[in-house]
Structure 1
Amino acid sequence: MSEDYQRFFILTGGPGAGKSTLIDALRERGFAGSAEAGRGVIQQQVAVSGPALPWNDPALFANLMLSWEMRSYDMARRETGTIFFDRGIPELPGYFRLIGLPVPPHVSAAAETFRYNRRVFALPPWPEIFSQDAERKQDFAEAIRTFEAVTSAYRESGYQLVEVPRAPVEERVEFVVDEIRRSER
């Protein structure tokens, strides 16, 4: 992989922690951002009555998320400037462990091959903003378990987690932008 990874920043956390809202706000500030793989795969699979839904075939769902994330990564390499990812490839081993399955070798290889900036922004579970919807069927307890699984996967892959404070979205935007500026010094 090229040096592109230095400008690729991941926002991670459990479901309902405000990642997509934060990426949307960063986009409004002129940054590029990816769409969340899980939500995208669910929407596409529902549209075609496909089998790769997390509540039907979690392993197939995870593999489609991996394909989505690899494509997002390749598309981002064609962009310039800082890019924010709504989750990333290195958390997929954590997802496999969360669903009680062994991590396939190709998933581990992808997590090592597709690298991002070593600083990963982690949005902790936040009960006051958590909600369920058509794609997010997990309850808050599962959101906590997901947060723990994915952040553990990032640590295991050598990433440094930077916890984003529970605050209004504009404060979160300022926090992330300030952290990136500090890391560039």
Structure 2
Amino acid sequence: MPSPFILSGCSGGGKSSVLDELKDRGFTVVPEAGRRVVADALQTNSNALPWIDPLAFCRACCDLHMQDLAKLPNQERRVFLDRSLIDLFAYLEMKRISVPADLGAALRAVSYAKTVFLTPPWQQIFVNDQERKASFKEAALEYEHLLSSYRSLGYQVTLLPKTSVADRTDMLLNELDQMDA
């Protein structure tokens, strides 16, 4: 099975909309672990929230992400991930928290496609909700850490343009098609 492709970037930058479009076009899409961990923590009064216990949050995200990867169907068609374990490392770096050994071991155990797509900060579409409490300024800082982390780990980063969801999705798929040709 080919390695899954990562779509990451600025919180509130339009990742979910592009991933929804990819899903509508028949691709397998794995939802972001972080939003599911936050939703569960809010419902169960867990401390695994990024604004309460960043390490507990990252460990819960890592566990859920690894479960998601283990459940991926064996298929030839491209698979897209909403974020990856690298996002957790960038988050911990941004918070100036050392990466625990167990999270480092998890990252070494996974294989992602070397081309990564990032959504840049985009003030006009940025919104907060119950699971996203960071300001636009914090989201933009998160993006800088993500960009740096992916590049430092040798990934080829492609930035999605600030345009319609359909155009962003077409651009992403066209780039992958060109790589396959």
Same fold (TM over 0.5): yes
Offset of residue 99 of structure 1: 1.5
* Pairwise CA distance, 1:142: 0.5
Once residues 78 and 45 of structure 1 are traced to their aligned partners in structure 2, the CA distance between those partners, rounded to angstroms, is: 31
State the 1:80 CA deviation. 4.4
Residue 106 (structure 1) shift: 2.2
| Contact 2:92–2:98 (8 Å) recurs in 1 | yes
Equivalent of residue 136 in structure 1, options 132, 136, 139: 132
After superposition, residues 1-40 of structure 1 pair within 5 angstroms as 4-5=2-3, 8-40=4-36
Correspondence list, 1:1-185, <5 A: 4-5=2-3, 8-185=4-181
Provide the identity percentage.
34
TM-score, normalised via structure 1 length: 0.93
Q: Which runs of 5+ in 2 are unaligned?
A: none
**Count of residues in Structure 1 that have an aligned counterpart in Structure 2:** 181
Cα distance in 2, alignment partners of residues 12 and 104 from structure 1: 22
Question: For the aligned residues, what is the CA RMSD?
Answer: 1.3
Report if aligned partners of 1:120, 1:160 keep a CA contact under 8 Å in 2: yes
Greater Cα offset, 124-133 or 72-81: 72-81
Deviation string, structure 1 residues 81-129 (Cα, Å, up to 9, x no partner):
1111000112221111112201112222222321211000011010010
Q: Which runs of 5+ in 1 are unaligned?
A: none
Contact 1:123–1:165, Cα closer than 8 Å, also in 2? yes
**TM-aligned CA distance change 1:172 to 1:9, over 3 Å:** same
- Partner amino acid for 2:72? A
Report the Cα distance in structure 1 between the residues aligned to 2:47 and 2:145, rounded to whole angstroms: 24
Q: Distance in 2 between matches of 1:24 and 1:62?
A: 24
**Offset of residue 179 of structure 1:** 0.8
